[in-house]
Structure 1
Amino acid sequence: MLCRISLLLGRPPSEVMALPVSDMNLLTAYWQDEPWGPWRDNLHAGLIASAVANYGPKKLRRVMSWKDFLLKPRIATQTQNRGSLLAALRMMAKPRPKGAKVKPSD
């Protein structure tokens, strides 16, 4: 949030940190009401893309949400991919019968 406010005001983050807490709270509340910058652009693009994707007969397509089109940070995508990889491996794993012994490999 500090960098967003810094960009909005055209001041370095060190100067923004010198602002009173009441000003920071006000700017944070303002951003929550009306986001600006890349987050707003991402949201706007997602809304337009979902409107275009949902055009046409409903029986021929699945309904897409604007959230389906948002750009996601690389870290969030990596975490999601790890979770889906683990889920796939768990599905492929065969459960051992009860009482079966594991044979050591050579």
Structure 2
Amino acid sequence: QKGIFAVSAETGVSEDDLMMIALDAGAEDIKSSEDGFEIITDPAAYDDVEKALADNNIEVAMSEITMVPDTMAELSDEDAEKVQKMLDALDDCDDVQDVYTNADLPEDDEE
């Protein structure tokens, strides 16, 4: 389990400032992309990081505690297609609340 916070690049906060705030509050890692930043934390530090971001007026686009795989499993194209069909079927089932996988599935560029 890991806590995840997404901060949009549109907030205007610098990576250095965000890193200092988050790491001081107990975050484990910060990943940056052109869309913004992803802060990863231990679930025990989730509330502290959330409070630190709020105290510094940093708007969070998304935050949750979720399951994150330690290692990813690479699949052949045929196996990846089968796994994706199974994940879609599970997602369509009303009784299923969450589905987690460590399958390294290719991004769907056709949509």
Q: TM-score range by the shorter chain?
A: under 0.3
Q: TM-score, normalised by structure 2?
A: 0.24
Structure (1/2) with the larger helix percentage: 1
Higher relative contact order (CA 8 A, sep 6+): 2
The answer to which structure has the higher strand fraction is 2
TM-score (norm 1): 0.25
